[in-house]
Amino acid sequence: MRQPLWAPSVDAIARSRMDAFRLHVNRHCGISLDDYHQLHDWSIRERAAFWQALADFFAVTFSAPAIQVLDEGPAMPDSRWFSGATLNYAAHLLRRHDQQPALISVSEAGVREQLSFADLNAHVAGLQRSFDEAGVEAGDRVAAILPNSWQAIVAMLAASSLGAVWSSCSPDFGAQGIIDRFGQIEPKVLIACSDYQYAGKSIDLTDRLAEVLRQLPSVEQLILVPGPAGVQKSLPDCHQAVQRWEEFYQPGGTPQFRVLPFDHPLYILYSSGTTGAPKCIVHGSGGVLLQHLKELGLHTDLQAGDRLFYYTTCGWMMWNWLASGLAVGATLVLYDGAPFYPHDARLIDLIDAEGINVFGVSARYLAALEKAGVQPARSHRLDSLRSILSTGSPLSPDSFDYVYRDIKDDLRLSSISGGTDIVSCFALGNPLLPVWRGELQGPGLGMAVEIWNEAGQRVLGEKGELVCTRHFPSMPLGFWNDSDGSRYRAAYFERFPGVWAQGDYAEQSEHGGLVIHGRSDAVLNPGGVRIGTAEIYRQVERIEAVMESVAIGQQWQGDVRIVLFVLLRDGVELDEALQQRIRSEIRQHATPRHVPARILAVKDIPRTRSGKIVELAVRNVVHGQPVKNTEALANPEALDHFRHRVELEQ
């Protein structure tokens, strides 16, 4: 009989915030919920009562209370949450004012900077005053091209304290990629780094910034943040007012917080943009705050004083999620640089050096760590570590084994899944439930997640579309410059009218957990049988010789055939024996339907800047179709390895 890889002890359950919340609901709502499953069912049935109870539990401060918690239309997306309520997102992240560390910022160059909660408040207050003097008003956009540093957190908080809308890109974006995003939202202020370091190389951004500024006439003020080790670059020649970060403001005083409606815009995030211009997704302050308090405080069980780390850039939604850790009083450990430089265990070193309790990375990172032969259980203490989070792509069952075998056997491994679309999760970890190999522990509270077949019927133990059937507060306010909401509705509500379709191909297990099999738009369909790409990757990447793989469906002779591209270890050739081994592994552990008709070696695999493999771009290239926005890719040159392959013409 299968056994869970981890299960909470009775004492651990009693100490968890999730169980404290269950008791809070029982006391204040006059009901009796005995376990998490009953709590989740109640959170779906009584969503208004649930979200109000959550706000009360985390002492969310409303300057004016809600007239109505949920004003719900006949179908999604028609709803409004906490009508009449006012608050400020930044105020909830800056509630602590003590000398305990709020931010620990570590650069690849080895520079470590620490800000206490008192320091953080002082920096935000100073920058806020300068923003105010520069004419930043509620609703203005403040954009940033920054590394994952303390300056980015300070700038976001200062902007949101005034009601400005924050939007950021990582400095590895090309000029056109930045313009494609910020050109749509017309920021008043741009904050940018002069240079950054990655994998031991220093990259100068001066020319790129000059090009961006030429094409962003809305920008009135550029604030230039020093690069690695405080190196100052020359200021770009532009018509905008330009000041260095340390000259633009002086820290000191207490920040003030503009009172704003619950649904006032907080963030603009972007779709990957691999099929066209990036969509500008607008997220509201109150919805983000409540959703992140729930996910960090309850599902992650993050406590005040805990140290939270996520390997991310400012161009990925996990940065926004990470920032909200301040709302529960946690310390954020920020890192900017290459994850395997100067050695494979660089990020693992941070766990011991900074006493990290919750360590967040991508599924790709864990797979690469195992491929590199890193065994932290033998080389590191990891005394502080109690949870690992993984997202970005489905986490393979073998990676679950690796974590418990070679990293730590008594931690909670939480594979989480959601997206930029909701700047949060549909399914994630849970301190009250066991961890089963290959499964996300379950849907989040208040999230009516189901798996539907193509007829729109709920299925259990079968693969289908991941949907959410009820409104939730972190649904986007809409897309920027989409006044009638048509693009927003088309993105999520056309597949099943009135129901959110996330675009994930998934399955609900017998334990109530979820397995993600890949993106719905990348599902393979040979002979009319739907196959998720992750089902193939899980088998292929068990093979030592294979570093990574990407599978597509190629139109062939009136049907679809599966083509598998593999990135092999240095010195390994894709000979007939290796091809047969790959096919055998897939046939044995999946089905004969999953076996690719063609297997080809490539020297690189294209991915987005947040590390996700872009199957659709590969499919387009193979079929001679254009890839509409290569600026969305971290390595667009990789597409050349897939063009005009003679092996695919036979």
Confidence (pLDDT) at 6: 98
The rounded distance, in Å, linking the Cα atoms of 10 and 124 is 42
Q: Is the dihedral of CA 70, 73, 79, 83 positive or negative?
A: negative
pLDDT in tens, 341-388: 999 999 999 999 999 999 999 998 999 999 999 999 999 999 999 999
CB 361 within 8 A of CB 389: yes
* CA 164 to mean position of chain CA atoms: 22
Confidence (pLDDT) at 273: 63
Highest CATH level, class, for 119-260: alpha beta
Longest Cα pair distance anywhere in the chain, in angstroms? 71
Backbone angles phi, psi at 539, to 5 degrees: -85, -45
Confidence (pLDDT) at 627: 85
pLDDT in tens, 138-165: 999 999 999 999 999 999 999 999 999 9
Strands 79-83 and 86-87 come out as: unpaired
Reference 122, options 248, 258, 256, 251; nearest CA is: 251
The rounded distance, in Å, linking the Cα atoms of 149 and 170 is 11
CB 377 within 8 A of CB 401: no
The rounded distance, in Å, linking the Cα atoms of 402 and 485 is 45
CATH no. of 523-649? 3.30.300.30
Q: What is the DSSP string of 409-438?
A: TTSEEEE-EEETTTTEEEEE--TTS-B-TT
Grouping H, G, I as helix, E, B as strand and the rest as coil, residue 58 is coil
Strands 68-72 and 79-83 come out as: antiparallel
Confidence (pLDDT) at 233: 60
- The Cβ-side half-sphere exposure at 460, using a 13 Å CA radius, reads 5
Q: Please give the average pLDDT of every successive group of 10 residues along the chain, which has 650 residues.
A: 93 97 97 97 98 98 96 93 98 98 95 97 98 97 97 98 97 90 97 94 91 94 82 65 94 97 97 76 98 98 98 96 98 97 97 98 94 96 98 92 98 96 97 97 98 95 96 97 95 95 94 92 82 89 91 89 94 94 91 91 90 89 86 88 90
Task: Give the helix, strand, coil percentages of the chain, each rounded to 5.
Answer: 35, 25, 40
CB 115 within 8 A of CB 103: yes
pTM tops 0.85, yes or no: yes
What are the boundaries of each domain within the chain?
10-66, 119-260, 523-649
In this chain, the answer to whether the domains covering 119-260 and 523-649 adopt an identical fold is: no
